[in-house]
Amino acid sequence: MDFNLLKPELTLLVTAIAVILLDLFVSRKGWLTVLSLIGLAVAGFFTFSQRADLGQTTFNNMLAVDNFAFFFKLLFLGITAMVILSSTDYVSKFKNFRGEYHALLLLATLGMTLMAATTELMTMYVSLEVASISLYALAGFLKDGKSSESSIKYMILGAVASAVLLYGMALVFGVTGQTQIGAIAAAIQTSGYSGLMDNPALVMGVVLIIAGFGFKIAAIPFQMWVPDVYEGATTPVVAFLSVGSKAAGFAIIMRLFFSAFEFPESLSLDWGAIYAALAVLGMIIGNASAIPQTNIKRLLGYSSIAQAGYLLVGLATMGIAPASEVIGRSSILFFLFSYALANLGAFAAIIAIGNKIDSDEIKDYAGMGKRAPVLALCLTVSLISLIGMPPAAGFIGKFYIFNGAVQSGLLWLVIIAVLNSVISAFYYLRVVKVMWFNEPASLEKVPSSGALRLSLLITTLGVLAVGIVPNLLFTFAEWAARMLRF
């Protein structure tokens, strides 16, 4: 056991505890933000200094320290830093518990970084719960009616999903007698199954695992929690869960299905087809339900379901065409990164606007182009990226995912996906239209703190930079996609 390899995770844990302790002693709560950011930076530094030692496992093959985990660690740390920066205005609403707020965010991040690294069913489950339980608490942090309601909904449905997942894992364990993903793959291959249907227990196991993780990534039909939680929960937490939780879900799915269920090929064809079907459902239902929404957080909730649909196209590619699987995987990574930038930017703007006007209704965004031109411009760039229009990052992300799918013979799926992108333009642009063309109710300016503006600047410039010169991220994603196989 080499604790050196765990330095980033341990740093997060120590920072979380330190933040709670510090909360007891300082009266200027701004220091909590500073300490959290320092903790994230140190964790990032440790992660980065591991890049020479990548490609090994630790704790008896339970955790992988490889390119793939490296990518996600940096992604999660970046996401959390952006969320903490954008929260500075919002947390001043809390009378108490600002220390706990930051500590829970850090703990959720810890859970997510572990999710990207685990290679064994039990640690997968435990790290998932570390992340989830922190998020349940965070969702209800405002303690008003809607916030509590959303927290309870999230927790109950999340608990059901966890149970389903655990049951699926138990079945897989029952069939293979193994929990380590490499050993599961070996057991499946020696047993000579040629497809899912050969063994009803394995079918059940894999389907239940897909369902359990489907909850995390907001895939149809496991998305029921999304709109209510997005609408009710604390806005920075929604930002966090819309990108962090989703990315972690995809990380764990990719690790598990890539290593454990990749061979025989007929098996991966089967789950690839399931993901293709989920992708179609997610895109169509997500986009269609987003159109009539009047609340921007709800709208982004449905949009995140649709975006998960595009990402599922990448998973389908992974399953259906092992030959182009590197593209399948790296395109998911690329898309997750660009989606994170765009969504964090959008939510940062929504936090600032919501703080001022105390409403998340789209009609109250009228005239934001006049009242807060910078916020409105950043939100517009983010929304354009979510549509997938150049020159924003979202376009290259979609191009990359669809490219992989076409190469695996999924042209039909790509046509459905691009048509859905067109449909999505309709509701995203409606927000743009209200902001720039409708007359404002008042001409009061919308203030925002320096920290929030910084996170807005980083994400917006990031969206444009990745959209115009995507090469760096391409290379990074491709490199990260060459993960350890067990």
Residues that bind another protein (CB under 8 A): 384, 389-391, 395, 399-400, 402-403, 406-407, 409, 411, 414-415, 418-419, 421-422, 425-426, 429, 433, 436-437, 469-471, 474-475, 478
Alpha helices in 294-410 (DSSP H): 296-320, 325-357, 368-371, 373-387, 393-407
Contact at 8 Å (CB) between 303 and 339? no
DSSP-assigned beta bridge partners for residue 57? 64
3-state secondary structure of 269: helix
Cα dist. 237→33, 105, 148 in Å?
15, 8, 13
To another protein, the closest distance from the beta carbon of 403 in angstroms equals 5
Which residue number, 278 or 387, has a Cβ lying nearer to another protein? 387
Least CB distance to another protein at residue 353 (A): 20
The answer to whether 39 and 12 are in contact (CB under 8 A) is: yes
Query: Longest Cα pair distance anywhere in the chain, in angstroms?
Result: 71
Q: Which two tokens stand for residue 247?
A: 């990315």
Of 485, 482, 473, nearest in space to 68 by CA: 482
CA separation for the pair 328, 320 (Å, rounded): 10
> CA 355 to CA 350: how far, in whole Å?
8
Task: Tell the smallest beta-carbon distance from residue 56 to another protein (Å).
Answer: 27
Residue 381 C-beta: closest distance to another protein, Å: 10
DSSP 180: B
**239 within 8 A of 86, measured Cβ to Cβ:** yes
- Quick one: 261 or 476, whose CB is closer to another protein? 476
Cβ-in-10-Å burial (0-12, 13-18, 19+) of 53 comes to exposed
Task: Tell me the two tokens of residue 97.
Answer: 């518990």
Q: Give the residue from 100, 82, 88, 73 showing the smallest Cα distance to 17.
A: 100
Tell me whether residue 20 or residue 416 sits nearer to another protein (CB atom).
416
Q: Which is nearer to another protein, 249 or 467 (CB)?
A: 467
CB of 257 to another protein, least distance (A): 24
279 neighbors 417 (Cβ within 8 angstroms): yes
Residue number, 1 or 415, with CB nearest to another protein: 415
Using the minimum distance from each CB to another protein, give the nearer residue, 82 or 386.
386
Q: Are 288 and 376 in contact (CB under 8 A)?
A: no
Give the nearer residue to another protein in terms of CB position, either 12 or 425: 425
H or E element: which one contains 237?
helix 235-240
Q: How far is the CB of 428 from another protein (least distance, A)?
A: 11
Q: Which residue type, as a one-letter code, is found at position 167?
A: Y
- Least gap, CB of 377 to another protein (angstroms): 9
**Dihedral class, residue 447 (left if φ above 0, else alpha if ψ from -120 to 50, else beta):** beta
Of 187 and 423, which has the nearer Cβ to another protein?
Answer: 423
Nearer to another protein, 131 or 425 (CB): 425
CA-CA distances (angstroms) from residue 305 to 147, 347, 405? Answer: 21, 16, 19
Residues paired with 64 in a beta bridge: 57
Q: Is 361 helix (H, G, I), strand (E, B) or coil?
A: strand
Least distance CB 399 / another protein (angstroms): 7
Q: Please identify, using beta-carbon distances, which residue of 250 and 400 lies nearer to another protein.
A: 400
Nearest approach, Cβ of 417 to another protein (angstroms)?
9
Q: How far is the CB of 349 from another protein (least distance, A)?
A: 18
Query: Whole-number minimum distance, CB 436 to another protein, in Å?
Result: 7
Nearer to another protein, 106 or 384 (CB): 384
